[in-house]
Amino acid sequence: MRISLRKNLYLRAALLTLILIAGMIIAVGFGSIKIETAAVIDEFANYLRGLKTDSPNAMIIFDIRIPRILFAAISGAILSLTGMLMQTVSQNYLADPYILGVSSGAGMGAVFCIITGAAQIFAPYGVYVGAFFGATLATVIVVRIAGTSNNPIKLVLIGMGISALFSAFTMLEIYGSKNEAQVRSAMFWLMGSFTGIQWAMVPITFAVLMMLMIFIWLFRHELDLILLGREEAQHLGLSTERMQQAVVLISSLAIAITVSIAGIIGFIGLVIPHIARFIGESRHAVMVWFTSLIGAVVMVWADVMARSMFSPEEVPIGILTACLGAPVFMQIINRQYKDS
Amino acid sequence: MNIIEVKSLSYAINGKKILDNVNAVFAEGKITAIIGANGSGKSTLMSFLSKTRRSANAVYFRGQDVDKISAEHYALQVSVLPQRQKMVADFRVEDVVLMGRFPYKKKFRDYTAEDRKISRRAMESVGIIDMAKRKLSQMSGGEIQRVLIAKALAQEPELILMDEPTNHLDVKYKLALMKTLRAYGKTVIIVLHDLSLAIQYCDAVVVMVAGKVLTQGKTAEIMQPALLEKIFGVPFVKFERDGRTYINY
């Protein structure tokens, strides 16, 4: 039997998984201190044999690089899946948490909580709570203003407005703050970064990713229907409104967690679902795997670039994804929305 | 027996009457055409029949107020082919047709082998079985229309509502569609612009003018040149050839 990559979805998914795992191992070597892949594999082998080493390499690998790479992969998958959900619910392939202003909303909420001290009420999850309210607020505003408009550009423009507004609020909050220690840095909340990712942050993001994937898997057929058309879905007996509310809630939560930890990272949620549809197919049962795998692969490599382009200096990941993603965004608009 | 009855249905947007005291009955097992000039309220009437708009005790499906029937339950009996909207999704043909089985599907489960069998049959009946693996983006407007018609048939409804389904279709497929609907044997309510199709394939006609039902009844009685001229404002001729009736302007 001849196995064809073109026909076999499982094979393509397996190949992507392999690329992801290999990429994550190779990525361990990159950074301000370069560690050869052979040395990385040595350290892994030692670890697996139970030999503890206190070499500087081991410390860099196990305490800094691995949690960071895991976080990059997980957050890449989360951002991509959230973008996919937003594109489905709005039936608009230009939707993305960054473009619709949801990430800015989360950033504003987080900063607000830190500066007003409200974060202490819900400690240690105060920042997450603030980000969640900000993200939900932004999403609700987008949905309210855009209504049932099926003009894809209108939704994007409203999102831009919301993004501008919330970014301005964030800067105002930071600017007005007397206590600089409360604010990590203005740039962090406007442009994301993976600096300072620790092991403790990995489980919570992984839980969010699992929640997203299970949600999409359970409702894969409902999401297919909505993507086909809201009216069509209603005629087939689906309550599209309830589905939309569930998506708003779950994507706000996902964005809140990633923005709280890594700041605003744009365009991943926009671009990755397009690639996933191209390599996989449009059904959500397939999209959930391809979107998360490709999102993880791209983010791991984007992070490698961010760490090594101007080594030992580091480029914030948000700037890098914007540099790569913005031209793709413009290209999508140019190709899909020709003047009639 | 009537499958749907509309009783004194009125509807206005910003004070402008779109539907004005509409009364109409649709007989079970028959194909009924709704005809009328643009803006006469045909599509709006369809939106009430399809439960897209709440009817406030004016539309009855088998004697039951449609507002009191849940969307899930209605979908088991009524399939709707709305006027074509723009579509972003790039599904495969077989996946779209399979979605017609959604009302029958158990929550969180996949479509069953039975569902796949039924949707294959639907694809065969509209002649798209060879295109089953193709993606919508590789298809013409008329082909997509046939996919959506297959989806409506896969729903195995008692009643099919179609708003100008022949719009994107070539003559060949227009005729094929009407034949398929006849062969399906259940109730069909169809908005038609093509009066020749109405006269050849429909059992009954509802004529709408300015938000009102001007008249309704058996096709042969209603489709008279004098009446059509009054509705559309141009002269019509009706003629018979080889035992079939044609109407032209």
CATH number of the domain at B204, please.
3.40.50.300
Please, what is the average pLDDT of chain A?
89
Residue B238's DSSP bridge partners are: B247
State mean pLDDT over A141-166. Answer: 86
Q: Chain B residue with minimal CA distance to A214?
A: B108
Hunting for tokens 């914030």 — which residue is that?
A316
Residue B73 located in a structural domain: yes
Cβ–Cβ under 8 Å, residues B18 and B191? no
- Determine the distance in angstroms separating the CA of B238 from the nearest CA of chain A, rounded to an integer: 38
- Looking at the fold, whether B227 and B107 belong to one and the same domain comes out as no
Angle between helices B171-184 and B113-125 (to 10 degrees): 130
State mean pLDDT over B98-120. Answer: 96
**Contact flag B52-A239 (C-beta cutoff 8 Å):** no
Out of A93, A234, A283, whose CB is closest to B91? Answer: A283
B5-48 pLDDT, tens per residue?
999 999 999 989 999 999 999 999 999 999 998 889 999 999 99
- Looking at the fold, whether B70 and B96 belong to one and the same domain comes out as no
State mean pLDDT over A262-274. Answer: 94
Classify burial at A154, counting beta carbons within 10 Å of its beta carbon; exposed 0-12, middle 13-18, buried 19 or more.
middle
Instruction: For residue B8, give every residue at least 6 positions away whose Cβ sits within 8 Å of its Cβ, in sequence order, or none.
Output: B21, B22, B23, B58
Residue B212 located in a structural domain: yes
Mutate to test the interface with B, among A91, A149, A228, A287 (most CBs of B within 10 A): A228
- Looking at the fold, whether B9 and B19 belong to one and the same domain comes out as yes
Domain count, chain B: 2
- Looking at the fold, whether B93 and B16 belong to one and the same domain comes out as no
> A128-137, A228-237, B114-123 — which one is most confidently predicted on average?
B114-123
- Determine the distance in angstroms separating the CA of B124 from the nearest CA of chain A, rounded to an integer: 21
- Looking at the fold, whether B73 and B161 belong to one and the same domain comes out as yes
The pLDDT of residue A199 is above 90 = yes
Which H or E run contains B178? helix B171-184
Q: What share of chain A has pLDDT > 90, as a percent?
A: 56
The pLDDT of residue A149 is above 80 = no
- Determine the distance in angstroms separating the CA of B110 from the nearest CA of chain A, rounded to an integer: 8
**Contact flag B102-A218 (C-beta cutoff 8 Å):** no
A293, amino acid identity: L
Contact list in A for residue B100 (CB cut-off 8 A) is: 236
B175 SS3 class:
helix
Contact list in B for residue A218 (CB cut-off 8 A) is: 108
Hunting for tokens 């059904």 — which residue is that?
A283
pLDDT for the residue A144: 86
Which residue range is the domain that position B125 belongs to?
Answer: 88-156
- Determine the distance in angstroms separating the CA of A266 from the nearest CA of chain B, rounded to an integer: 23
- Looking at the fold, whether B226 and B204 belong to one and the same domain comes out as yes
Domain end among B112, B137, B156: B156
pLDDT for the residue A181: 62
- Looking at the fold, whether B130 and B232 belong to one and the same domain comes out as no
pLDDT for the residue A47: 86
Sorting pLDDT into bands at 50, 70 and 90, what band is A143? confident
- CA-to-CA distance for A174 and A51, rounded, in angstroms? 47
Sorting pLDDT into bands at 50, 70 and 90, what band is A338? low
Please, what is the average pLDDT of chain B?
92
Domain end among B137, B156, B175: B156
- Looking at the fold, whether B162 and B241 belong to one and the same domain comes out as yes
Residue B82 located in a structural domain: no
pLDDT for the residue A123: 75
pLDDT for the residue B93: 96
pLDDT for the residue A3: 61
State mean pLDDT over B228-234. Answer: 86
Q: How many CB pairs under 8 A join A and B?
A: 69
Half-sphere exposure of B105 (CA within 13 A, CB side): 25
- Looking at the fold, whether B124 and B107 belong to one and the same domain comes out as yes
For A80-335, which CATH superfamily applies? ABC transporter involved in vitamin B12 uptake, BtuC (1.10.3470.10)
Out of A150, A232, A239, whose CB is closest to B86? Answer: A150
**Contact flag A227-B71 (C-beta cutoff 8 Å):** no
Q: What are the strands, taking DSSP E only, across chain B?
A: 2-13, 16-27, 31-36, 59-61, 64-65, 78-81, 159-163, 187-191, 204-209, 212-218, 237-241, 244-248
**Contact flag A237-B73 (C-beta cutoff 8 Å):** yes
**Contact flag B89-A150 (C-beta cutoff 8 Å):** no
B66-83 pLDDT, tens per residue?
999 999 999 999 999 987
Q: What is the ipTM of this complex?
A: 0.91
Residue B19 located in a structural domain: yes
Instruction: Mark A197-215 as b/e (b = at least 16 C-beta within 10 Å).
Output: beeebbeebbebbeebbeb
**3-state secondary structure string across chain A:** CCCCCCCCHHHHHHHHHHHHHHHHHHHCCCCCCCCCHHHHHHHHHHHHCCCCCCCHHHHHHHHHHHHHHHHHHHHHHHHHHHHHHHHHHHCCCCCCCCCCCHHHHHHHHHHHHHHHCHHHCCCCCHHHHHHHHHHHHHHHHHHHHHCCCCCHHHHHHHHHHHHHHHHHHHHHHHHHCCCHHHCCCHHHHHCCCCCCCCCCHHHHHHHHHHHHHHHHHHCHHHHHHHHHCHHHHHHCCCCHHHHHHHHHHHHHHHHHHHHHHHCCCCCHHHHHHHHHHHHCCCCHHHHHHHHHHHHHHHHHHHHHHHHHCCCCCCCCHHHHHHHHHHHHHHHHHHHHCCCC
State mean pLDDT over A37-50. Answer: 87
Residue B209 located in a structural domain: yes
pLDDT for the residue B249: 81
Q: Chain A residue with minimal CA distance to B152?
A: A236
**Contact flag A236-B103 (C-beta cutoff 8 Å):** yes
**Contact flag B105-A221 (C-beta cutoff 8 Å):** yes
Q: Please give the C-alpha separations between residue B8 and each of A332, B20, B25, B39, in angstroms, as whole numbers.
A: 49, 8, 11, 19
The pLDDT of residue B207 is above 90 = yes
- Looking at the fold, whether B92 and B140 belong to one and the same domain comes out as yes
B137-168 pLDDT, tens per residue?
888 888 898 999 999 999 999 999 999 888 87
Residue B83 located in a structural domain: no
Instruction: For residue B190, give every residue at least 6 positions away whose Cβ sits within 8 Å of its Cβ, in sequence order, or none.
Output: B31, B32, B33, B34, B160, B161, B162, B165, B181, B202
Q: Which residues of A touch B (CB under 8 A)?
A: 91-93, 150, 218, 221, 224-225, 227-229, 231-232, 234-239, 277, 281-283
Residue B173 located in a structural domain: yes
pLDDT for the residue A180: 67
Out of B79, B82, B99, whose CB is closest to A225? Answer: B99
- CA-to-CA distance for A334 and A94, rounded, in angstroms? 12
- Looking at the fold, whether B117 and B175 belong to one and the same domain comes out as no
**Contact flag A236-B100 (C-beta cutoff 8 Å):** yes
The answer to whether the bond into A316 is cis (omega within 30° of 0) is: no
- Determine the distance in angstroms separating the CA of B240 from the nearest CA of chain A, rounded to an integer: 40
pLDDT for the residue A11: 93
- Looking at the fold, whether B138 and B184 belong to one and the same domain comes out as no
**Contact flag B71-A229 (C-beta cutoff 8 Å):** no
Higher pLDDT, A196 or A165: A165
pLDDT for the residue A254: 95
Instruction: For residue B17, give every residue at least 6 positions away whose Cβ sits within 8 Å of its Cβ, in sequence order, or none.
Output: B10, B11, B211
The pLDDT of residue A340 is above 60 = no
**Contact flag A91-B89 (C-beta cutoff 8 Å):** yes
Domain end among B112, B130, B156: B156
State mean pLDDT over B163-188. Answer: 89
> A33-42, A49-58, B198-207 — which one is most confidently predicted on average?
B198-207
